[in-house]
Chain A
Amino acid sequence: MSALRTCLAGAARLAPGSRRALLLLAAWFALAALGPLLAPHAPGEIVDREVFAPFSVRHWLGTDYLGRDVGSRLLWSVRYTVLISTLSTLISCCCGFVLGIATTATSVWVERVLGRLMDGLLSIPSLLFALLVIAAAGESIPALVLTMGVIYMPGAYRTSRALALRIARADYVTASLARGENRSFVILREILPNMMGPLLSDIGLRFVYAVLLLSNLSFLGLGVQPPLVDLGSLVRENVLGLAYGAPAVLVPTVVLALLTVGINLALGGQRS
């Protein structure tokens, strides 16, 4: 319990950038949760004969290539983009962080084997890895979540391990060990609270990575499949509207940019 409290106290003293990014993320979660409830139409409903209609009072964001309401579809697509990216980020960060921190206390051999495996995973470019899995397993949402979770795990592992190692060398950890504290106390109470800030911003970065990869896949037609829709596939299906400057393609583009650029700017560009 007190470990949790120290961690929360650590989070409360975050850099303003990370706090802003967290607020922003919360706002997007709220939109993903509540957005579809506000949608005036069902996502698949054809509401107008006019395709690629411009902004109007009836359909605020116009209509898409089949005459569906872009606004409603957009609200649904935000839900899927945020949901899938969040789940995969949770997988990658949970596994990565736990392994990364745990290996600071395990034997050297566990670390060596794990480290080599992670290096191997890192040497397959992320989009390529995703394409391989999709070629074999098809485009289901669980497969996407799992694949992206695996793809971004080595990064989370490396970040947390580097952080934990750096802090483990700190003199206050030595002091704690010299006092005779056990490993779990040292890891949970001495090391972890000092990692919270960097770890949270790492989660933010990995979320952005996941959104980017998912959107790219969907744009290639290999991500979220109809009738479901996410931001990338929304752009893909309406890409012909580009010639007319239709909101159907421009709006999802802008929303996607708002999502990723916003979080990255809030984090202050900590990614290398």
Chain B
Amino acid sequence: MTALISVRGLHVAGRRRDGSEVGIVRDVSLEVQRGEMLALIGESGSGKTTIALSLMGYVRPGCRISGGEIEVAGYRVDQMTPDPLRNFRGKTISYVAQNAGSAFNPALTLHRQVIEPALSHWVLPRRDAERRAVDLFRAMALPHPETIGARYPHQLSGGQLQRLMAAMALITEPEVVVFDEPTTALDVTTQIEVLEAFRAVLAERGITGVYVTHDLAVVAQVADRAVVLRNGAVCESGPTSEVLERPHAPYARELVEASRLPVRAMAAAGPVPEPVLTLSDMVVGYGSVDARGLPARRILDGINLSVPRGRILGIIGESGCGKSTLVRTIAGLQASAAGTIRFRGEDLAGAVARRTPDQRRRLQIVAQNADLVLNPAWTVGAILMRVLRFFHGLRGAEARAEALRLLDLVRLPQSVFERRPPELSGGQKQRVNFARALAARPDLVLCDEITAALDPVVAAAILELLADLQATLGLSCIFITHDLHALRAVCDRVAVLLGGHVVEQCDAASLMDGVHHPYSRLLVSSVPEMRPGWLDEVTRQRQVATDAPPPPVAAGGCPFVSRCAMRIEDICDHVPPPVVPGAGGARIACHHPLADLPPLLQADGAA
């Protein structure tokens, strides 16, 4: 049987600002057999999306296919003229975009958009197309399949939109589907639902496809074969298990290692050091204020946390759980409605302007997006020297020497001193960001999603740097993340945040087994593992979850009640769950006695 997709010697060139051309994709060849799923793996800028789009005969503005042959389902895509190409797109090959939230037209109902390919290509009469759309919605496990199409994109969640987009791609029953990082923008617990839905539909229909991603664990679940790309060229290819378990190329090995971060060693046993920072009953919100001065809409509700000196407290949660608000509150950039912050034994004012210079110096932030927190008009040296002068009064040669020492500390070459942030890579910027925080000689560093914007290999290096710095300088840290791997690699203790509540606190080492809050359990079990077949196992385990409609969420109830399989009717939805102490200093907020909570059965450690 011949290949359904065959690319030989593909070159794609992009125009730079000054008009010269640069190769984005260089000499890429690949083949996909009918019914197979091929994964294109690579970091940002590796050309993976460009290759995927070129299969549809499409290149982004400013680029052009400069050589090679592309054959898809018998069509020579690189030689097609616009009209046949338009007939080919959407009918023979279709596309699932990375961010469904922006890939749907905000002014049109979803229904119109989903059946549009079928109507544009005269594949089906309107009535049949509508029926097929509803069938696909049902197959994708979307709620209210009959009526969901009448909504507008902004009325649905990201996970739902992504499934609708897959339904749109399948409505013409194309021979090939291109998935462009379809779950990257989603939370893990949503991602797994979407992956389950995709998998069910794809397996049933025998779809041939190309799946673009940077997440090796997802590759293990969906792909038969994998191609690793770097700088626009193929660096490794083969069957998925081969590529993931026995990579040959050095870069592929790095990539695999970066997704198997070593778990942080337990802190030495003994008494827990006294806390450097303590949050008590913190409430942050907006809207009308009740008699006790508490706002009606709460972003954070009754947060109690403490960071032991010299330890790293990880805070994990999905988008919208209040992580960023927590950081801003501790940093003094967001007013709280109630609660206190104690820092090194003294009360910390809510607003940064009312804190003493010494308090400000001792509490530093390393923010998520180094692009935005470093002033592009300043050189790296000036950025560091300003902090040294501001907090320590260092000037001239003294400040310069100290700044160079800091660059050394974060393992940056001294040549960076004279350069400006826009000239640096993402990883380098994040290191500068670290150096700036360290320049203040802080006691506590708030790390807010510091690896979220970085590629896996670079992120792994940054995490390593954090762990080393923490060990050598004895820093205390709060490490905010949505990534369980990163969390386990650097943290001593973990707080799980959901809907503005801390549902559980425990040691990082014990997160993967034993008894946990149902939400922690869901979170941990939703993180894909890098072995084929994991998704099937999880899917089987989950079928026991109830299908009963979730109760309306009332104030004061457990934030997980709407998704909890073991909720107690009439209690969980309005009675605040008590905090129960567990083994190893764990604290779990749940109405169930700990003995009733099912333990996580997985063996410890990343598979």
Q: Which A residues form the contact surface with B (CB < 8 A)?
A: 6, 9-10, 170-172, 174-181, 190, 193-194
Cα of A48 to Cα of B360 in the assembled complex, Å: 80
Cα of A175 to Cα of B373 in the assembled complex, Å: 7
B377 adjacent to A178 (CB under 8 Å) = no
Contact of B367 among A171, A193, A194 (CB under 8 A): A171
Cα of A94 to Cα of B375 in the assembled complex, Å: 25
Chain B, Cβ-Cβ closest to A172: B375
B377 adjacent to A10 (CB under 8 Å) = yes
Known: A178-B332, A180-B352. A171 touches B373 (CB 8 A): yes
Cα of A179 to Cα of B442 in the assembled complex, Å: 12
Contact partners of B360 in chain A: CB under 8 A = 178-180
Q: Which 4 A-B pairs have the closest CB atoms?
A: A193-B377, A171-B372, A172-B375, A171-B373
Cα of A226 to Cα of B440 in the assembled complex, Å: 67
Contact of A6 among B331, B377, B390 (CB under 8 A): B377
Chain B, Cβ-Cβ closest to A194: B377
Cα of A187 to Cα of B376 in the assembled complex, Å: 15
Contact partners of B286 in chain A: CB under 8 A = none
A172 adjacent to B372 (CB under 8 Å) = yes
B377 adjacent to A179 (CB under 8 Å) = no
A178 adjacent to B374 (CB under 8 Å) = no
A7 nearest CB across to chain B (Å): 9
Interchain residue pairs with CB less than 8 A apart (29): A6-B377, A6-B382, A9-B377, A170-B375, A171-B367, A171-B369, A171-B372, A172-B372, A172-B375, A174-B373, A175-B367, A175-B373, A177-B333, A178-B331, A178-B332, A178-B360, A178-B365, A179-B390, A179-B391, A179-B440, A180-B353, A180-B360, A180-B390, A181-B390, A193-B375, A193-B378, A194-B375, A194-B376, A194-B377
Contact partners of B332 in chain A: CB under 8 A = 178
A230 nearest CB across to chain B (Å): 39
Cα of A193 to Cα of B421 in the assembled complex, Å: 14
B387 adjacent to A190 (CB under 8 Å) = no
Determine the main DSSP class of A at the interface with B.
helix
Chain A, Cβ-Cβ closest to B378: A6
Cα of A177 to Cα of B360 in the assembled complex, Å: 10
* B 329-343 contacts with A by CB, 8 A: 331-333
Cα of A171 to Cα of B357 in the assembled complex, Å: 20
- Apart from A180-B390, A194-B376, 11 more pairs, CB < 8 Å: A10-B377, A170-B372, A171-B372, A172-B372, A176-B375, A178-B331, A178-B360, A180-B353, A180-B357, A180-B360, A194-B377
Cα of A193 to Cα of B373 in the assembled complex, Å: 15
Contact partners of B375 in chain A: CB under 8 A = 170, 172, 176, 190, 193-194
Number of interface residues of B (CB under 8 A): 23
Cα of A193 to Cα of B375 in the assembled complex, Å: 9
B369 adjacent to A178 (CB under 8 Å) = no
B373 adjacent to A177 (CB under 8 Å) = no
B372 adjacent to A178 (CB under 8 Å) = no
B365 adjacent to A175 (CB under 8 Å) = yes
Contact partners of B382 in chain A: CB under 8 A = 6
Chain B, Cβ-Cβ closest to A175: B373
Contact partners of B352 in chain A: CB under 8 A = 177-178, 180
Cα of A139 to Cα of B101 in the assembled complex, Å: 58
Cα of A240 to Cα of B373 in the assembled complex, Å: 62
Report which residue of B365, B376, B377 has the largest number of chain A beta carbons within 10 angstroms of its beta carbon.
B377
Contact partners of B374 in chain A: CB under 8 A = 172
Contact partners of A9 in chain B: CB under 8 A = 377
Report which residue of B367, B375, B390 has the largest number of chain A beta carbons within 10 angstroms of its beta carbon.
B375
Cα of A79 to Cα of B364 in the assembled complex, Å: 57
B373 adjacent to A172 (CB under 8 Å) = yes
B350 nearest CB across to chain A (Å): 13
Cα of A177 to Cα of B354 in the assembled complex, Å: 12
Contact partners of B390 in chain A: CB under 8 A = 179-181
Contact partners of A178 in chain B: CB under 8 A = 331-333, 352, 360, 365
A215 nearest CB across to chain B (Å): 35
B392 nearest CB across to chain A (Å): 12
Cα of A171 to Cα of B353 in the assembled complex, Å: 17
A64 nearest CB across to chain B (Å): 45
Contact partners of A190 in chain B: CB under 8 A = 375
Cα of A264 to Cα of B296 in the assembled complex, Å: 53
Cα of A170 to Cα of B367 in the assembled complex, Å: 12
Chain A, Cβ-Cβ closest to B436: A175
B367 nearest CB across to chain A (Å): 6
Cα of A178 to Cα of B327 in the assembled complex, Å: 12
B456 nearest CB across to chain A (Å): 24
Contact partners of B357 in chain A: CB under 8 A = 180
Cα of A170 to Cα of B331 in the assembled complex, Å: 16
B358 nearest CB across to chain A (Å): 10
Cα of A175 to Cα of B331 in the assembled complex, Å: 10
Chain B, Cβ-Cβ closest to A196: B377
Cα of A174 to Cα of B332 in the assembled complex, Å: 11
Chain A, Cβ-Cβ closest to B371: A171
Contact partners of A175 in chain B: CB under 8 A = 365, 367, 373
Proximity bits, B57-68, A CB within 8 Å = 1, else 0: 000000000000
